[in-house]
Structure 1
């Protein structure tokens, strides 16, 4: 009797499962049909409706995020921050893609990134609550001033390169003018036959003069884009010679001789600084190892004798 009861329950359960499968099949097929119809209809959608999805990730996500960061950054920056940032960009040579708005936005992004990174690293360090707070605050400050430090280092390296190539560029400019070329043609020769930031600056001066800017104004703009005293004095001498009608070749000859003298004096100054700079590593790195090598065996022998 029990066996018949179990068989009856099994048959009822099997019937219910079969009925459920039979009724669900059309639903699945209908859902599949609707999915296929939707996929086919996507191909017929106008490009204007799918243009938003076809845009690059940088335009869809990064650009709006940078715009919001720029809005926040403008609230915290001073009124004269735009001029100071533009000055830093000029000294750095206007790196590709870097603008005043981008620097302001990168400050906010850097502060948020530094805050998050410092917060995560604070859990890896055995710091107290106050130590973690200070560490996170320092991370945010470092991220905020990160773009400024990058521009400062970029400007420092660029100004050093300009200073190293200034004497040779003035020599070439002097030779070109004394050989009979006009000043504009001599500047073009310097820009063509040299490389580096100074060649770029002379090319910019030449382009400004070609579009109608006066020679004096173009040279003053060159001096304003740098912070080198030698280049400023050179530009000042050229502007005065142009204003008073003094032969440019004579001024260039004097400036070339003066630049060579200054370069030799700087080389002698660097050479005289070498002994002073070597004192610190000599005292803390070389002399201790020398004492260990020379006196170490004697100290070991004395210790063995007294032992």
Structure 2
């Protein structure tokens, strides 16, 4: 029994220390890179040691994690905009280190003779925390998709004006990406970079559609690729798509406005109406109680 407790404590301490090491690199990645650049040439072995150890942990985490989970995490990371502070390797490392931590805690609870309910809650907590990065990336990806959907109509208007002013499609997209701020501007910039790196326009736009998972953007990409394949005027396609996106944005706003009464109904019934009944009927109920009390006396 004491040996089991000591072993579990050692495993917990080691895993928590490794987690703290990984988190320390995630808190200030810019400072770590700046320090590494400043120290370059003054003892390369000292500078490269943390990166090598972190790379070894990342490779081990990729080997131990099922390929399906790695693929799902990479897709969610791409849809979330590929946040640099929390890349896939760091998330896989944290997941890998969390497994021995929660296992040691469960082993410690079992060795101390805790109740089965507490042990079950610990296991459920471990499973929930293991999938927290996936849920956070999924939520961030959904927010990013909504932001892209909101910005699409205005971006298409800018591109239409630029094309009608005499710019080519790539130059118009570059101007819209440079003048815009937000998720769609970042995605357009990355698409242009992919084309500069040698990808065809079709492949770059298909990658854009798969990264964002926005239905309206996918429809726009399909229209642009068809226009490019059949020689249709890009200006006419952009004008039509911009008008359609504005119409859909107005329809979505009207739909959200019509949902407000339904969403307000439940809080109204649970919190506002009971208080109103208490305020209105409370004095009458007190008077009736006093009257019946007087009659009984």
2:183 and 2:168 map into 1 onto residues whose CA distance is: 23
Equivalence for 2:76: 88
The answer to whether the aligner puts 1:105 opposite 2:105 as a matched pair is no
CA radius of gyration, larger in = 1
For residue 274 of structure 1, report the CA deviation from its aligned partner: 0.6
CA 1:132/1:69 → structure 2, altered by over 3 Å: closer, same or farther? farther
C-alpha RMSD of the superposition: 2.9
Query: How has the CA–CA distance of structure 1 residues 231 and 52 changed in structure 2, closer, same or farther, with 3 Å as cutoff?
Result: closer
Give unmatched runs, 5+ long, in structure 1. Answer: 1-50, 123-127
CA contact (8 A) 1:67 1:105 kept: no
What do the CA deviations read for 1:142-199 (whole angstroms, capped 9, x no partner)? 2211211121122111111111111111111111111111111101111111101110
Task: Give the direction of change, closer, same or farther, for the CA distance of 1:73–1:137 in structure 2 (3 Å limit).
Answer: farther
8 Å CA contact retained: 1:107, 1:146: no
Q: Which residue is equivalent to 2:207?
A: 221
Shift in CA distance, 268/301, structure 1 to aligned 2, threshold 3 Å: same
Q: Indicate whether 1:267 and 2:266 are aligned.
A: no
Measured after TM superposition, the shift of residue 231 of structure 1 is 0.5
Cα distance in 2, alignment partners of residues 68 and 146 from structure 1: 20
- CA–CA distance in 2 between the matches of 1:295 and 1:117? 55
> What CA distance in whole angstroms lies between the structure 1 residues aligned with 2:143 and 2:104?
31
Structure-2-length-normalised TM-score: 0.75
* Number of equivalences: 249
Unpaired runs of 5+ in structure 2?
1-42
User: Is the Cα contact below 8 Å between 2:58 and 2:89 reproduced in 1?
Assistant: no
- Residues 71-82 of structure 1: pairs in structure 2 closer than 5 A: 71=60, 74-75=63-64, 77-82=65-70
Report the equivalent of 1:303: 289
Matched, 1:285 2:274: no
Residue in structure 2 matching 1:245, options 225, 231, 235: 231
Q: Distance in 2 between matches of 1:104 and 1:181?
A: 45
Cα distance between partner residues in 2 of 1:304 and 1:170? 72
